[in-house]
Amino acid sequence: MTVESQQYSDKSMLSYLAPRVREIQPSGIRKFFDLASGNKDIITLGVGEPDFITPWHVREACVYSLERGYTSYTSNAGTPELREAIAEYLHNGFGLNYDPKDEILVTVGGSEAIDLALRALIEPGDEILVPAPCYISYSPISFIGGGVPVEIETYAKDNFKLKAEHLEAKISPKSKVLILNYPSNPTGGIMTYEDWLPIAKLVEKHDLIVISDEIYAELTYGSKHVSFASLPGMKDRTILVNGFSKAFAMTGWRMGYACGHPELIYAMLKIHQYTVMCAPVMGQVAALEALKNGLEEKDQMVESYNQRRRLIVQGLRDIGLSCHEPQGAFYAFPGIETTGLSSDEFAQRLLLEAKVAAVPGTAFGAGGEGYLRCSYATSVNQINEALDRMGKFVHKLKQG
């Protein structure tokens, strides 16, 4: 039994655990990871990360800094150079203005930033609003923090956009935080300026704080990403979370950042300094290089994703699966209801019978039933082969 798959079977040890931790379920993705590993000849559409390796000049900058002996702590909030570069990048790319001195905090991945934000904001019993299907961590970390996650369903007919009426229906006097993730993992949905306006009104009306996870901000196809923080009056109400993982193919470096009102960032900094102290210096060196000299490669990667997006959406539709057109991130989210199988069954059988790994929509919470997350962050040849195998599998299912 691996540590990762271990269930808490020893009753005496179980009694030591905090009830909240005992209660949370392992991620639905983890289950499929266990199923897939050990299987051979699998084509994977299950990967939530770029298939590109971090550009060489970024890796080289890190190696060079190690050779020169840069191995010490940095200031808690991150090196001043990196925070300045982040401020400049957000200004040039998204029209956002953050002061690198006290409005930007460099974190260990976007995940730490979200955790810090929630820990800084939540009191036991506070309700955390989360549009779903959504990234697997939001509800569990809200729950671990003592909050009550409340999922707001989004629908394929709306291109998985968050609708104000659906949000308002779930707002209660206990609602405190709204977590946004657009472009969305797993749906690929995006929000335009016009889509955001009624949401911003509600945020103001109900005095909510927003954690806006914009990790896929660079990966949009057609229209440019609109940061929630850029809406009138929303900057001070928003903790913007971003990072280097998706745009610069740097998932393993664990480099992220949070931006927001100095008082919120200061509160998050306090938790950050007592837990991780600072993000690793080598990661910060690499991140700085990515921002200074990596934007062109980023554009090339986005162009590749866009081509693959067209291929997979067309391919899934040709197979006979419904698939809304994802406008961001690198996931297609086809509907599999017509096959008569549940998402879980479909994904399991697809893995075992067709040797294609994808993640059932149910791993992403409410509204995920009937869907499958297919990542197109893989080569054209692999996507073609996966589509071919899926086509045969679906055909077989339909023939009964």
Partner 1 sequence: MKPLSELKLKVLDLLKEDARRSPALLATLLGVTEDEVSVAIAELEEDNVIVKYATVVNSGKLDDEKVTALIEVQITPERGRGFEAIAERVYLFPQVKSVYLMSGAYDLLVEVEGRTLKEVASFVSDKLSTLESVLSTKTHFILKKYKQDGIIFEDPEEDRRLMISP
How far is the C-alpha of 155 from the C-alpha of 161, rounded, in Å? 7
> C-alpha angle with apex 335: 331 to 341, nearest 5 degrees?
125
In the bound state with partner 1, the residue whose beta carbon lies nearer, of 29 and 271, is: 29
Select from 161, 163, 170, 239 the least CA-distant residue to 201: 163
Give the shortest CB-88-to-partner 1 separation in angstroms: 29
Cis peptide before 360 (omega within 30 of 0): no
Q: How far apart are CA 145 and CA 284, in angstroms?
A: 28
Question: How far is Cα of residue 118 from the mean position of the Cα atoms in its chain?
Answer: 16
Q: Strand 255-259 to strand 104-108: parallel, antiparallel, or no bridges (unpaired)?
A: antiparallel
Minimal distance in Å, beta carbon 390 to partner 1?
16
The residue (of 352 and 380) whose beta carbon lies closer to partner 1 is: 380
CB nearer to partner 1: pick between 36 and 259: 36
Residue with Cβ nearer partner 1 (78 or 368): 368
Which amino acid is present at 106? Answer: V
The C-alpha atoms of residue 90 and residue 105 are separated, in whole angstroms, by 14
Which of the 8 DSSP states describes residue 162?
Answer: P
C-alpha span between 257 and 86 (Å, rounded): 9
CB of 104 to partner 1, least distance (A): 25
| Residue 70 and residue 285 in contact, taking contact as beta carbons nearer than 8 Å | yes
Smallest separation, CB 314 to partner 1 (Å): 5
Question: What is the closest distance, in whole angstroms, from the C-beta atom of residue 271 to partner 1 in the complex?
Answer: 23
Q: How far is the CB of 287 from partner 1 (least distance, A)?
A: 20
Q: By C-alpha distance, which of 330, 292, 310, 293 is closest to 81?
A: 292
Characterize the bridge pairing of strands 175-180 and 209-213.
parallel
Comparison of 135 and 143: residue with beta carbon closer to partner 1: 135
Q: How far is the CB of 33 from partner 1 (least distance, A)?
A: 4
Please tell me what DSSP assigns to residue 150.
E
The residue among 76 and 384 lying less far from partner 1, judged by its C-beta, is: 384
Output the smallest distance, CB 308 to partner 1, in A. 7
Instruction: Tell me the closest approach of the beta carbon of residue 341 to partner 1, in angstroms.
Output: 19
**Between 49 and 204, CB nearer to partner 1:** 49
Q: Pull the structure tokens for residue 186.
A: 């797993």
Give me the phi and psi of 175, to 5 degrees please: -65, 130
Q: Return the number of the residue (202 or 311) whose C-beta is nearest partner 1.
A: 311
Q: Give ∠ CA 29-31-32 in degrees, rounded to 5.
A: 65
Q: DSSP of 333-391, one letter per residue?
A: --B-GGGT--HHHHHHHHHHHH-EE-EEGGGG-TT-TTBEEEE--S-HHHHHHHHHHHH
Distance of closest approach, residue 40 Cβ to partner 1, in angstroms:
11
In the complex with partner 1, the residue whose CB is nearer, 24 or 169, is 24
User: What is the number of alpha carbons within 13 Å of residue 64 lying toward its C-beta?
Assistant: 9
Chain positions contacting partner 1, by CB under 8 A: 27, 29, 32-33, 36-37, 39, 42, 44, 46-49, 51, 53, 135-137, 185, 303, 307-308, 310-311, 314, 357, 359, 378, 380-381, 384
Cβ burial, residue 263 (10 Å; 0-12/13-18/19+): exposed
Closest to partner 1 by CB, 199 or 347: 347
Q: What minimum distance in Å lies between the beta carbon of 136 and partner 1?
A: 6
Q: Which is nearer to partner 1, 51 or 127 (CB)?
A: 51
